[in-house]
Amino acid sequence: MVRMIRKILVANRGEIAVRVFKTARSMGIGTVAVFSEADKDAVHTRYADEAVLIGAAEPSSSYLDSDAILKAAREAGADALHPGYGFLSERSSFVRQCNDAGVTFIGPSAEAMDRLGAKIDAKKLAVENGVPVTPGYFEPGATVAQLKEAADTIGYPVMLKASAGGGGRGMRIVREAAEFVSAAELASEESLKAFGDGAMMVEKLVDRPRHIEVQVLADSHGQVACLFERECSLQRRHQKVVEEAPSPVMTEELWHRMQEAARSLVLAAGYQNAGTVEFMFDEASGEFYFLEVNARLQVEHPVTEAITGLDLVEWQIRIAQGEKLDLPAKLMAGDRGAIRGHAIEARLIAEDPARGFLPSIGPILGWAEPDGLGVRFDTGFGRGLSVTQYYDSLLAKLIVHSSDRARAVTALKAALADTHILGVKTNIEYLLAVTAHPDFQSGRFDTGFLGREFPDWKPERSVPPGLAEMMGQATASGAQRSNGAEKPQGAWGLADSFRIAKS
Catalytic residues: 296
Residue length of the chain:
503
CA distances (Å), origin 146, targets 157, 188, 252, 269: 17, 14, 40, 28
Specify the DSSP class assigned to residue 61. G
Coil, strand or helix at 83? coil
3-state secondary structure of 18: helix
For residues 252 and 314, give the distance between their C-alpha atoms in angstroms, rounded to a whole number. Answer: 29
Peptide bond into 246 cis (omega under 30): yes
The beta-carbon contacts of 496-503 under 8 Å, at least 24 apart in sequence, are: 497/366, 497/383, 497/470, 497/471, 498/470, 498/474, 500/474, 500/475, 501/470, 501/471, 501/473, 501/474
Q: How far apart are CA 133 and CA 121, in angstroms?
A: 13
CA separation for the pair 362, 351 (Å, rounded): 11
DSSP state at residue 405: H
Q: With CA atoms as reference, report the closest residue to 226 among 253, 280, 265.
A: 265
Asked whether the CA dihedral 93, 96, 101, 107 is positive or negative, the reply is positive
Inter-residue contact 200 to 192 (CB < 8 Å): no
CA dist., res. 19 & res. 182, Å (int):
43
Paired residues of 401 in beta bridges: 343
Contact 377/43 with Cβ under 8 angstroms?
no
* C-alpha span between 397 and 381 (Å, rounded): 11
